[in-house]
Amino acid sequence: MDNTIKTQKPFERANLINSRGIRIGYIYKFTGKVGYVTETKDFELFQTDFDKIKEESKAGEVVVLDVTSLIRWDTLSLKVIFPVIVALNKELKNKGKPLIGVIGNRSGDVFDASWERHKESGTEVVPWFQTLQEYLANYNLLT
């Protein structure tokens, strides 16, 4: 009998479509369904696709991380992943490219923990909105 713990990807990737049906980028919906894995394992699962995120962002694609399904900060070990997004966004900002945005509850534990841990290192570099519509409207991407 195989006792290996199998984990699923911590997020689902989908096209980000505006109101005219035009693909403008990608949305990564974090499911929180990783199970009992270590921070390192979570990061490895994320790292597998992170190169895609980096390429998409550097190519000017809109990339949004949807954390609305996450209840706790540690659900996806965002404390490992978030600093990587902060660093990439600083690079994107300097190059005038769209920043990777986050949508999720701004009054929840995930936001509070990310703000506390990264306010000194640039949380302001990560645009965080309550809804996808808010994010798209802020960047004039609805149409």
Interior CA angle at 112 toward 46 and 117, to 5°? 65
> Taking phi first (over 0 means left), then psi (-120 to 50 degrees means alpha), and beta for anything else, what does residue 10 get?
alpha
pLDDT, residue 5, reads 44
pLDDT, residue 125, reads 76
- pLDDT tens by residue, 59-74: 888 999 888 877 665 5
> Distance between terminal CA atoms of the chain?
53
> Residue 134: phi, psi to the nearest 5?
-60, -45
Please determine, for residue 122, whether its predicted confidence score (pLDDT) is greater than 60. no
The boundaries of the domain holding residue 105 are 11-138
Q: Is residue 143 part of a domain?
A: no
Please state the domain count of the chain.
Answer: 1
Single-letter code of the amino acid located at 125 = V
Q: Is residue 125 part of a domain?
A: yes
pLDDT, residue 15, reads 94
- pLDDT tens by residue, 4-46: 444 456 678 899 998 889 899 999 887 765 444 455 565 566 6
Query: For residue 125, what are its two tokens?
Result: 């570099």
Please determine, for residue 138, whether its predicted confidence score (pLDDT) is greater than 70. yes
Q: Is residue 123 part of a domain?
A: yes
Task: Report strand pairing: 101-103 vs 128-129.
Answer: parallel
Q: Is residue 127 part of a domain?
A: yes
Q: Which helix (H) or strand (E) holds 8?
A: none
Binning pLDDT at 50, 70 and 90, where does residue 97 land?
confident
Q: Is residue 15 part of a domain?
A: yes
CATH number for the domain spanning 57: value is 3.30.750
pTM: 0.74
Q: Is residue 118 part of a domain?
A: yes
